A and B are shown apart, each in its own frame.
Chain A
Amino acid sequence: MWVYEKKLQYPVKIKNCNPRLAKYIITQYGGPDGELAASLRYLSQRYSMPCEVAKATLNDIGTEELAHLEIVGTIVYQLTKGVPAKILEKEGLGGYFADHDRGIYPVNGDGVPFTAAYIGVKGDPIADLTEDLAAEQKARATYEGLINMTDDPDVIDPLRFLREREVVHFQRFGEALRIVQEKLNERPFYVKKPEYAEISPASNVSPAEKTNPYSNVSPAQQKK
């Protein structure tokens, strides 16, 4: 469930159009390390998380990424608003203009449409959270590249905010990963379910299986 708030997370007010820059920045809208991919990645991964900290972190960061998607869309919109078709073409947006006019469509910097192949959902908390750490670093690096491509302070300001958020999210994902690892490392002290004991008597389970911290598959399932 979501409720729309009629405000940006960070203000965007760009005075000068720059369609060439818009063509590059749009990759953070619909590119491989963009905000749409980030949001869908986290919101889809949250279902299979084993603990409350990880569920909440993915839920809330996935939600914040939607606010970032809106900021990036706003930057692209304002950079191309009212720019004549001839200039859009000259600045490398001819193909984009033919298909989408000045609409905001999720593509990367070369006009390749968004694909779900940009995101991974492994259903394995260690694999997923490790991917998220990398995703935040890749987005940070992309924002740094974009910041280096412009000297317009109206554009640099929101890009710096978005870059900073990648750093904070990386930190929070790192903490969530550490907490998940600690949880998976805990030795179970509860009484095992009867069917578990029947299928897999303790004598059949190797010590390695008993203590494998990175597996959320029970030894009983592994035996099958």
Chain B
Amino acid sequence: MLASIIEDVIGGVCMYDAREKMLKELMALEFMEIELNLYLNTHPYDQQAFMIFRNTAEQAKMLRDNYERMYGPITASASNSFPWPWIESPWPWEA
């Protein structure tokens, strides 16, 4: 009994940590995308930056799809389970 509770708690913590870790990776990739987007706005002919942007955007999309499959939608339009999963906590301001 106690063992199973401990297992649940540890499992819960690990799952939370894994979610947070994956989300942080995604945040880092999508931040790179924003940064390159702003740079390319004023340097539209920088081909190397464009290649890095394309590469980053594709990586971010893959990671985002994985995250949403495991932990729920990041945008409402990615909600594909029932009942409506978009409202589920945590919201971003809730650490």
Q: Hey, which bits of chain A sit against chain B, CB under 8 A? A: 3-14, 53, 56-57, 60-61, 64, 70, 73-74, 77-78, 168-169, 172, 175-176, 179
- A-B contact number at CB 8 A: 66
**In the assembled complex, how far is the CB of residue A53 from the closest CB belonging to chain B, in whole angstroms?**
6
A3 in contact with B75 (CB, 8 Å): yes
B26 contact set on A, CB distance < 8 A: 7
Q: Hey, which bits of chain B sit against chain A, CB under 8 A? A: 23-24, 26-27, 31, 34-35, 37-39, 41-44, 73-77, 86, 91-93, 95
Could you name 11 residue pairs across A and B whose Cβ atoms are closer than 8 Å?
Answer: A9-B31, A14-B95, A53-B41, A56-B41, A57-B38, A60-B37, A172-B38, A172-B39, A172-B42, A176-B42, A179-B42
A11 in contact with B24 (CB, 8 Å): yes
A78 in contact with B92 (CB, 8 Å): no
Among candidates A8, A168, A169, residue contacting B27 with C-beta atoms closer than 8 Å: A8
Residue of B nearest to A63 (CB): B34
A64 in contact with B34 (CB, 8 Å): yes
Q: A6-B91, A7-B23 are in contact. List 12 more A-B contacts (CB 8 A).
A: A3-B75, A5-B75, A6-B75, A7-B26, A7-B74, A57-B38, A60-B37, A70-B92, A74-B92, A74-B93, A78-B95, A175-B42
Residue of A nearest to B76 (CB): A4
Determine the distance from Cα of A91 to Cα of B92 in the docked complex, in whole angstroms: 27
Determine the distance from Cα of A175 to Cα of B24 in the docked complex, in whole angstroms: 30
A10 contact set on B, CB distance < 8 A: 27, 31
B95 contact set on A, CB distance < 8 A: 12-14, 74, 78
Among candidates B23, B42, B73, residue contacting A53 with C-beta atoms closer than 8 Å: B42
Determine the distance from Cα of A53 to Cα of B92 in the docked complex, in whole angstroms: 32
User: Interface of chain B, helix or strand or loop or mixed?
Assistant: helix
B31 contact set on A, CB distance < 8 A: 9-10
Among candidates B27, B38, B41, B86, residue contacting A7 with C-beta atoms closer than 8 Å: B27
Nearest 3 CB-CB pairings of A with B: A175-B42, A13-B95, A74-B93
B42 contact set on A, CB distance < 8 A: 53, 57, 172, 175-176, 179
Determine the distance from Cα of A55 to Cα of B64 in the docked complex, in whole angstroms: 28
B35 in contact with A4 (CB, 8 Å): no
B38 in contact with A78 (CB, 8 Å): no
Residue of B nearest to A179 (CB): B42
Determine the distance from Cα of A9 to Cα of B32 in the docked complex, in whole angstroms: 11
A4 contact set on B, CB distance < 8 A: 75-76
B74 contact set on A, CB distance < 8 A: 5-7
Determine the distance from Cα of A78 to Cα of B26 in the docked complex, in whole angstroms: 23
Residue of B nearest to A8 (CB): B92
Supposing A57-B38, A179-B42 touch, asked if A78 and B93 sit within 8 A by C-beta, the answer is yes
A172 contact set on B, CB distance < 8 A: 38-39, 41-42
B27 contact set on A, CB distance < 8 A: 7-11
